[in-house]
Structure 1
Amino acid sequence: MIELDRAGRSFKVKKRIVHAVNDLSFTVTPGEFVGYLGPNGAGKSTTIKMLCGILTPTSGKVRVAGLDPSRKRTTLARRIGVVFGQRTTLWWDLPLTDSFELIRHLYKVDRTDFRSRLRELTETLELGEFLRTPVRQLSLGQRMRGDLAAALLHAPDVLVLDEPTIGLDVVSKASIRGFLRRVNAEQGTTVLLTTHDLGDIERLCRRVMLIDHGRLAFDGTLDDLMATAPDASSIEDVVTRLYTGGATITTQ
């Protein structure tokens, strides 16, 4: 906050401490597919950055795949995959296949394993027709499929997704949802999904956590969530009530 005197000759700054997350505690077990929801500014991105080692918590502790993310960031990078729907990890001016090759070197993936995984991902995500297209020329749906492949080339134990279907059309969303469902079911990959698209949550997640003002407001199944507001017509209605303060939801 900045204040000026009437003559505009001086000012003073008042500092205000904001706790992005506060007394937040949860555990995700191997093989779970968990939705992590909250309004803008609730603390979702801060949580993800702490899980990835980008931010260090001022108190408490974080463990991902048994590692402290802020202290073992390089080691952890080989155990997790991260996809940010609004930011790509691919090289903008390079063909998609060149980005994948660079990722192989960064993660030190064995060439034989790399070729096998890339073949499987190319077939499953239908990347073949644009593997040699520069990333900047890809559609949003194509780029998102490329980002998902890039995040999985090193066979991570944990996949963190931040708005993976943002801006996609209905067909592209269905394709990516189907792929993520198979990755979780067939490979046992643990998935943490943050999104404002409740269709993603309903179709993919068996468990959902809601964060509000930096605190965990709910942790349970979708059925548990609906049961907190019996008169609600949909999950969107329940979540909207929480966001707007129209309902009090407690952890089951």
Structure 2
Amino acid sequence: MIDVDRIGRSFRVRGTTVHAVRDLSFRVGAGEFVGYLGPNGAGKSTTIKMLTGILAPTSGRVTVAGLDPSRRRTALAREIGVVFGQRTTLWWDLPLRDSFELVRLLYKVDRARFRERLDEMTTRLGLGDFLGTPVRQLSLGQRMRGDITAALLHDPSVLVLDEPTIGLDIVSKAEVRAFLRELNTEHGTTVLLTTHDLGDIERLCRRVMLIDHGRLAFDGTVDELRATVPGETSIEDVVAHLYLSSPAPRTRPHHPGEDPPIATA
């Protein structure tokens, strides 16, 4: 579903070239739930922007659902859903229900299918009590459930999540995690998750990728990640150890068709 082949992205900042992403390659297959981790400035957000068509790579090739994101943004929008935990896609002064209706019109979703999908999401995410509430009056947990619903009303095959549980209380976080797990296992939706909350990674992801200095530093299972630091069982401690002990990535980039590299401390 996602094919990234040696992409790079550079920017000119006050006369200096900054390489945000360098020679990055990976594949995410249909139905995978993959965590994409890295410290601030590692290149995560730049990667997500290239996958969603907001930015075009300055080198290499990327396809999502068989489409070039920067060249086929309208077509890609029908294939993917995107949730940014720190930025809502809902209309601030409208009731949540009206925001969903606008999403239906934007994506030209059949009315019967829309109602079926919205009923399912309302039940699964417990939206019924606040569908008539203006978005600006919703709690953070309610708004996040609304944003996830809006991203899924058009039945995308790929869901990109950027900090979907940021700021949520423990109950809301558990509800969102349970829903995302069901979405992946029952509907086969491909999910790429970026987050600083490593509890999300441990509870949701079977595979995790680490990016550092714009390059892929690790690609493997959660258990393989733990094994890179003998004696550690906490994913948070393992990831911190890898980044603190290795300021530059120690593995060569992973190219499609190869076994994923595993960083060593």
TM over 0.5: yes
In terms of fraction of residues, the more strand-rich structure is 2
Cα offset, 1:209, TM superposition:
0.1
Distance of 1:31 and 1:224 partners within structure 2: 20
Relative to the length of structure 2, the TM-score reads 0.88
Q: Name which one, 1 or 2, has greater alpha-carbon Rg.
A: 1
Relative to the length of structure 1, the TM-score reads 0.93
For 2:182, the equivalent position in structure 1 comes to 182
For 2:235, the equivalent position in structure 1 comes to 235
For 1:138, the equivalent position in structure 2 comes to 138
Cα offset, 1:194, TM superposition:
0.2
Deviations 1:154-179 (A, max 9, x none): 00000000000000000000000000
For 2:91, the equivalent position in structure 1 comes to 91
Cα offset, 1:14, TM superposition:
6.3
Distance of 1:70 and 1:27 partners within structure 2: 18
Name the aligned partner's letter for residue 239 of structure 2.
V
Distance of 1:155 and 1:246 partners within structure 2: 41
Note if 1:17 corresponds to 2:53. Answer: no
Distance of 1:111 and 1:37 partners within structure 2: 38
Structure-to-structure mapping, 1:9-88, within 5 angstroms? 15-88=15-88
Query: Could you list the runs of 4 or more consecutive aligned residues of structure 1 that deviate by over 6 angstroms after TM superposition?
Result: none
Distance of 2:180 and 2:134 partners within structure 1: 24
Deviations 1:200-251 (A, max 9, x none): 0000000000000100000000111111111324111110012223597642
- Residue identity over aligned pairs, in percent, reads 76
Distance of 2:57 and 2:75 partners within structure 1: 19
Task: Evaluate the alpha carbon distance shift between residue 55 and residue 14 of structure 1 in structure 2; reply closer, same or farther with a 3 A threshold.
Answer: closer
Aligned-residue Cα RMSD (Å) equals 1.3
CA contact (8 A) 1:37 1:196 kept: yes
Task: Evaluate the alpha carbon distance shift between residue 145 and residue 127 of structure 1 in structure 2; reply closer, same or farther with a 3 A threshold.
Answer: same
**Secondary structure of 1:92's partner?**
coil
Deviations 1:138-193 (A, max 9, x none): 00000000000000000000000000000000000000000000000000000000
Task: Evaluate the alpha carbon distance shift between residue 217 and residue 75 of structure 1 in structure 2; reply closer, same or farther with a 3 A threshold.
Answer: same
CA contact (8 A) 1:157 1:190 kept: yes
For 1:151, the equivalent position in structure 2 comes to 151
Deviations 1:11-39 (A, max 9, x none): xx962211110010000000000000000
Distance of 2:216 and 2:121 partners within structure 1: 35
Cα offset, 1:120, TM superposition:
0.4
Cα offset, 1:94, TM superposition:
0.2
Q: What are the ranges of 5 or more consecutive residues in structure 2 without an aligned counterpart?
A: 1-12, 252-260
CA contact (8 A) 1:210 1:217 kept: yes
Distance of 1:44 and 1:19 partners within structure 2: 13
Distance of 2:162 and 2:151 partners within structure 1: 12
**Secondary structure of 1:93's partner?**
coil
**Secondary structure of 1:27's partner?**
strand
Distance of 2:137 and 2:219 partners within structure 1: 41
Distance of 1:229 and 1:70 partners within structure 2: 38
Name the aligned partner's letter for residue 209 of structure 1.
M
Distance of 1:172 and 1:157 partners within structure 2: 25
Name the aligned partner's letter for residue 89 of structure 1.
T
Deviations 1:25-56 (A, max 9, x none): 00000000000000000000000000000000
CA contact (8 A) 1:85 1:164 kept: yes
